[in-house]
Amino acid sequence: MVRNPGIALSQLEKGMGLRRLSFEAYQNIAQALDEMNSPTDEQAALIKLTMEGKRYQAPERWEQERLINLYKAKLKLEQVMELLGE
């Protein structure tokens, strides 16, 4: 247990150790999300099927995995934006 949490919080405010992102870094994440765009209706349907465990055979499966991984990355970046925006 931390004996003096005030020290830890003071270090955060002084930019020591773990730091908040700069506004520019935050904007770069937002720009990456914009570049990723949103899935088309067809892509969304395939993502839904994939999340339900349905898989194609190779070589379509490889592209299916690329699509679902891209979608998951987009969701994670959206979570990052939400967490850092607080």
State pLDDT tens for residues 67-82.
999 999 999 999 999 9
Q: Is the peptide bond before 59 cis (omega within 30 degrees of 0)?
A: yes
How confident is the model at residue 86, as a pLDDT? 64
Q: Concatenated DSSP letters for 38-72? A: ---HHHHHHHHHHHTT--PPTTHHHHHHHHHHHHH
9-42 confidence digits (pLDDT tens): 999 999 899 988 899 999 999 999 999 999 999 9
- For position 25, what pLDDT does the model report? 93
Q: Where are the domains of the chain?
A: 20-84
Q: Cα 41–43–51 angle (5° rounding)?
A: 115
What is the pLDDT at residue 68?
98
**pLDDT at residue number 85:** 86
